[in-house]
Structures are given as structure tokens and as C-alpha cells.
Chains A and B, each alone.
Chain A
Amino acid sequence: QKEVEQNSGPLSVPEGAIASLNCTYSDRVSQSFFWYRQYSGKSPELIMSIYSNGDKEDGRFTAQLNKASQYVSLLIRDSQPSDSATYLCAVSASGAGSYQLTFGKGTKLSVIP
């Protein structure tokens, strides 16, 4: 059974601070990792994708992947109130035609003005 674990939160940070979101996964053959943002009642919106160990930066967002530790994280710099949402970690095996995403339950982030 493939599992993706996230702290449910809520994680509260002041405006302008760095928010750090973490995710662990159980399936060692996982190869593709994604962070989605989901506002209440809305659909998942892709924030970042990462496929190899290390850091990947896109604007205020940095994704970090450590396959040996089966750990992926998302840093949000200069957090804004509009970043308040639930952040979903999703993992795909991407092997033998298996591309389905396994999602974590999400971490609810609240950015306090």
C-alpha cells in the first residue's frame, strides 16, 4: 500500500516568513513528486514538480527531494496571506506505465497578516 504522509497542520506563519511543508512517502520506486495548492472548495493547482534529488526553485517556492530518506519538502519564502491554503504532496511511481498520483492528506497553511 503506497502511503504519502503529511502533517495536517494547521501551520501558522506570519506574513513575510518562510513556511516549511514536509512530506514522506513509502514507495521506494517513486520517481515523480509534485506539490499542489488547494483552496477550500477548489481543485488542486500545480505549484512545483521535482524528479531528481536536490533543490528546485521557482520564484518564492523551493522544492527539496531526498530519495534516500523518502522525503520531499516545499519552502515558501516571503509568505503572503494569499498563500493560505492546503498544500498537497503527490507522488507517482512513473514506472511500467503506472502514472497515478498518490496524494497525502495535505497541510493547511495559514499566513497571518
Chain B
Amino acid sequence: EPEVTQTPSHQVTQMGQEVILRCVPISNHLYFYWYRQILGQKVEFLVSFYNNEISEKSEIFDDQFSVERPDGSNFTLKIRSTKLEDSAMYFCASSRTGRNQPQHFGDGTRLSIL
């Protein structure tokens, strides 16, 4: 069964450094998403992406965050100048279309900011 793949599984970065999290969505899916989950808290929406542009973003997704689809398969989340509070699990998800379609999640990247 097709799945969303994320790399790396764990990233440790010094505060203030830039980090790029990578995702390969399911191949015939058109909508891509990033969510995060701080330890012990609920899953929170960051951004959705369709047709090579951001379609929605949350208040969390401020100027330090950016997303990109650099080629036909990868979808990346970049965090510039990381902060301690960016430490969380970051999940990529994809769906075939937007409306009434389930989102399938990758295994996540655990980001630890020191």
C-alpha cells in the first residue's frame, strides 16, 4: 500500500540553525500538508499546499517557516533560525483531493532543538 515517507526520522539542531524536513507524498495525491505535535499535546495544522502554492496556513506558520515542492516527488518544510519551542514531531500528510478525502500521514520527523 502506498505511503507517505519522511526523512530524517530524527533531527537534532542547535538553536538558531536552519533545518529542512523532507517528505515524499503518495504519488497520485494532489494536496500536501504539514502538521506538528509538541510532546503531550494535540496535533496542530501548519500549512497546506496545492498546485505549487500554499492554500492555507495557521498562525503557527509564521515567517520562519516555508514550504517547497522542489521536484515532482518531494515536499519540504524549512524552518529558519530554529527556536527551542520548535521542538516537536512534524508530520507530513497527503490526500488525493481536498474535499471529503482522508489525509494519510507519514511516520514523522522528531525535531530536537538544543
Contact = CB atoms under 8 A, between A and B. Distances in A.
Interface of A: 31-32, 34, 36, 42-46, 49, 51, 88, 90, 94, 97-106
Interface residues of B, number: 26
Contact of B102 (A46, A98, A104): A46
Nearest to A36: B105
Interface in B85-114: 89, 91, 95, 98-108
A99 B98 contact: yes
B106 A43 contact: yes
Contacts, number: 61
Contacts of A46: 102-105
Contacts of A98: 56
Interface of B: 31, 33, 35, 41-45, 48, 55-56, 58, 89, 91, 95, 98-108
B99 A94 contact: yes
A43 B108 contact: yes
Contacts of A102: 45
